Chain A
Amino acid sequence: MSEIDLTTKIGNLALKNPIILASGTAGYGYELEKYINFNEIGGFVSKGIYFDPRKGNDSPRIYETPCGMLNAIGLQGIGVKRFRDEIIPFWEKYDTVFGVNVAGETEDEYVKVVEYLEREKRVDFFEINLSCPNVHEGGKSPSWDSQKTFSIIKEIKKISKKHIMAKLSPNVTYIEEIAKAAEEAGADSISLVNTFVGMAVDIKTKKPQIKNVFGGVSGPAIKPMALALVFKVFKSVKIPIVGMGGISSAGDILEFIISGASAIEIGTATIVDPRASLKMLKQLKDLMRALNHKNIKDLIGSIITGG
């Protein structure tokens, strides 16, 4: 039986396989250590990190919706100092691509976080969280605006030599414009999608099910919309794309890759089952074999439309 080649590249990042654990669904890593061997996964993105520690939103923070969930955690986090002192050393012992999800309430804060962690050799890339729907005033996120997207990425590129991945929001009219703005500003790659803004109401108390009122919808329910956005962005930029949104099987992974993603992120599936990523990795090899594919790189953007 021939070996299946699952190695892939996101620009200068070389991955063992296309599976990355998505920010906010895998903690800082240590929480999952007893369930999975990080050496087996393609990459890992930390929980979003602000410069200072953050308390996050009040509870209830989550609510299950059909085939998905709503969350408004509010980026509870430990801040850059503890992140550098406690989390980065944890990652020294693992051989996988490691990214830091960078958050900020202002443009300056994004830059400050990157500046603080720029010299950390273990950090392979920064995923710039332009898109958390739960923290900015009125739920606005910078990636709703192509100028803000451009300016944040541009400022970060001035001070960072690391790979910069721009994480986009799906809650926009023309995602192509935002993606192009990130590309023009020098982003090395684009990851999408973050969660879709949603809500749910308790009909007895008439109160929203989430304290924050609005939350982000994730899980299998969003997969078709996420896939469409990945394909739209694939058609409009030249930089590589990391696709995500409700992936819960090897078939889902291939759909995103065929639609243009060079790698994918697993999010809510890890919440459902901490071993989901490795289960999908095994499934992916079997599926590639069954479909007579040897090299996953050959499948990136191999979609056939028309004809």
Chain B
Amino acid sequence: MDKKEWGDNYFSLFLKDKEISEIVFPGNFFMVKIPYFESGAILPRPFSIARVFKEENVFELFFQVVGKGTEVFSKLKEGDYLEILGPLGNKFPIKTEKKIIMVAGGRGISPFLYLSEILKREKKDFLLIYGGKSEKDIKFRHYLSSYNTLFITEDGSYGEKGLVTDFLPKGAFTVFSCGPEIMMEKVYEFYKKTNSEVFVSLEERMACGTGVCYGCAKKIRRGDKIEMVRVCQEGPVFNAKEVVWDE
């Protein structure tokens, strides 16, 4: 394992595994085991795939320290070993004729880093809209400069000033979103009456990642019923029109 500290409590972990680097796809996530229990944290933590460096068989997990678990990971040292489970979960559905719009808020940028690379390779038309509170929350600037990215900060300290939802282009697109739930809901509201389809990567507290505990359930519309659906098994990517946006 290798680590990069981005500043402002953002970190990346770089892990080496040939098979995972080959098969992992944006949307997928990993359950990363807490390597020591002195912190009192026992449950593995979910991380979505951020980038893949195929030549080196290395893949990257990007995170912000938000609690005990992420704090433990932020203190790991180069060369430490981690036990991980994955790749788990589904993928962003990129088979579309429409232009793809990706909307990321804060650490929700993760899946769109590798996805930008894939879309460019496949010569798809896309736009990435990446927003944060201030310039401190905007990372990967150099990497993203090779891709069609619109940077937005609430205080205007980097890129355009405002909210990502102020800069959504009008039209019929395939839209992917990852970030705060309120942002994803607004993205869906913006596009729901158009001919666009919106897919969101949902976050819910997760314990097992394997489907055994039913802890990460979200309300999802299935036909005329509302069911509690496990994000780890049927997600994390859902069609936004199935999501019950009331919480």
Contacts and interface: CB of A to CB of B under 8 A. Distances in A.
Nearest to A64: B43
Interface string B206-232: 111011111111110000000110000
Contacts of A57: 228
Nearest to B218: A59
Interface string B29-59: 0000100010011111000000000000000
Task: Give chain A's interface secondary structure class.
Answer: loop
A133 interface: no
Contacts of B206: 62
Given A67-B37, A76-B217, A274 B210 contact: yes
Contact of B42 (A55, A59, A64, A73): A64
Contacts of B211: 27, 31
B180 to A, nearest CB: 15
A288 to B, nearest CB: 25
B184 to A, nearest CB: 16
Interface in B172-224: 204-208, 210-219
Among B33, B42, B208, B210, the most chain A Cβ lie within 10 Å of the Cβ of: B42
Contacts of B216: 59, 61-62
B213 A271 contact: yes
Chain B, interface residues (CB within 8 Å), range = 20 to 34
A219 B207 CA distance: 12
A60 B247 CA distance: 10
B120 interface: no
Given A62-B207, A69-B207, A272-B33, A56 B214 contact: yes
A286 interface: no
Given A61-B214, A62-B215, A220-B42, A55 B208 contact: no
B4 interface: no
Contacts of A25: 208, 212-213
A301 interface: no
Given A67-B37, A69-B42, A271 B207 contact: yes
A71 B210 contact: no
A32 B208 CA distance: 11
B212 A61 contact: no
A271 B43 CA distance: 7
Interface of B: 33, 37, 40-44, 68-69, 83, 85, 204-208, 210-219, 227-228, 233, 247
25 contacts: A27-B214, A31-B211, A31-B212, A55-B227, A56-B214, A56-B217, A59-B205, A59-B217, A59-B218, A61-B205, A61-B215, A61-B216, A62-B206, A62-B213, A62-B215, A64-B69, A67-B37, A69-B207, A71-B213, A76-B228, A268-B42, A271-B212, A271-B213, A272-B33, A272-B43
